[in-house]
Amino acid sequence: MDGVVGSRGVREDVTGGCTQPVFRIPSGAGAEQIGNIRNHAKAVLVFGPNASANEVTATLDALPDTLCSAIVLARRESLADFQRLIDDDRLFYLACGELSARELDALIDSALGDSKPVATLDRYISASSFRRIALAQSIVELTNALRAAAAITVNAERTRCVLFDSERGTLWVPNESTAESTATGLAGFIFRTGLAVCLPHLDGDARFDRDLDNPEGDDVDRFLGVPVCAGGKVVAVLTAMRPGHALPFEPLDIAAMEALAAHASPYAAAWLNDAPSSDSPFRLRALRAAEQTPGSASEPLQLESAWMRRATWLFFASLLTLLAAFVVLKGWLG
């Protein structure tokens, strides 16, 4: 027995008892070395790398009173030797080669019966990120807030928020581009279909447009993109990239990004709603932001003059009502 494996891998070497029923048993360890595992009713055993079927069988046979979940890291050429153990349902998982720490942690957590993580926003995003999205005062501030939140959500190196300009029928990125066709790129595909896209590498995908999808990155980057919808229509595309040497995006990352996009929907609708309305102080601000040249400062939020006129009349009406009430009250008391 080599050590105790916790949720972060091998934690320490041990010679006596341990507090967690998870043990790593390297190749070459004999059944006589597993003495204190018998003290547990249940245990997770991690064999290998390069574990042999005979060693795993001998160890499990030496623990008849311990319910063991065996995770085995073996050589590919020896996988056939484990068929008997698999048929007898004595293995929890068999891998041909070593696993990353993250992958091994996930298997150990599952073997221990720990609940699987749920893709909820509060697991990934701080209250300050939520506040930044809610209090955005321009379309540029909103897209910057969404990009920052996406970077936190899926641990991305770069993020982009591509918006749809319904007046022109084009895609655009604040402070970067003025008009891009919806008929090209992964962003265009996501906009057209409303589907999320997750790629292990951008290179080789027929939909990839470097200028629109990843102008600052490499073709080998990993990609994840989701639509942001409002009123049943796609109004923006939120994307995240990781370098090729980083871990690939997983289903949990997709779920988390989709949850973020759903949270952003009402804020995107306030700025990018297709239905023009004279009652909205935001629509014209978004259109003016679209007209700005890349690199120009964002326009501060302003209210339409119609709103200001209504507010003025409301103020004076309220004041007159209070004065009238004061006169009536004074006459009644007098």
Task: Identify the CA nearest to 238 among candidates 299, 156, 301, 135.
Answer: 156
State mean pLDDT over 253-282: 74
**Which two tokens mark 200?**
């292990």
User: 176-230: per-residue pLDDT in tens?
Assistant: 867 888 888 999 999 999 999 999 999 989 999 998 999 999 999 999 999 999 8
How far apart are alpha carbons 228 and 147 in whole angstroms?
12
pLDDT(297) > 80: no
How far apart are alpha carbons 9 and 104 in whole angstroms?
8
162 within 8 A of 187, measured Cβ to Cβ: yes
Least confident of 10-14, 96-100, 108-112: 10-14
- Residue 84: half-sphere exposure toward Cβ, Cα within 13 Å: 7
317 Cβ contact partners less than 8 Å away, ≥ 6 residues apart: none
225 within 8 A of 253, measured Cβ to Cβ: no
User: 269-278: per-residue pLDDT in tens?
Assistant: 888 764 344 3
Give the sheet arrangement for strand 9-12, strand by strand. Answer: 9-12, 3-6, 22-25, 42-47, 67-74, 93-96
State mean pLDDT over 41-56: 90
How far apart are alpha carbons 143 and 117 in whole angstroms?
27
State mean pLDDT over 155-184: 88
SS3 2: coil
How far apart are alpha carbons 31 and 54 in whole angstroms?
11
Domain ranges of the chain: 3-112, 121-272
State mean pLDDT over 84-111: 87
pLDDT bracket for residue 302 (50, 70, 90): very low
Q: What are the residue ranges of helices labelled H in the chain? A: 53-61, 83-87, 101-112, 127-134, 139-154, 185-193, 210-213, 251-272, 283-291, 305-333
Q: Considering the chain, what is the average pLDDT of its residues? A: 79
The pLDDT assigned to 107 comes to 87
The CATH code for residues 121-272 is 3.30.450.40
Q: Using CB atoms within 10 Å of the CB of residue 149, give its burial: 0 to 12 exposed, 13 to 18 middle, 19+ buried.
A: buried
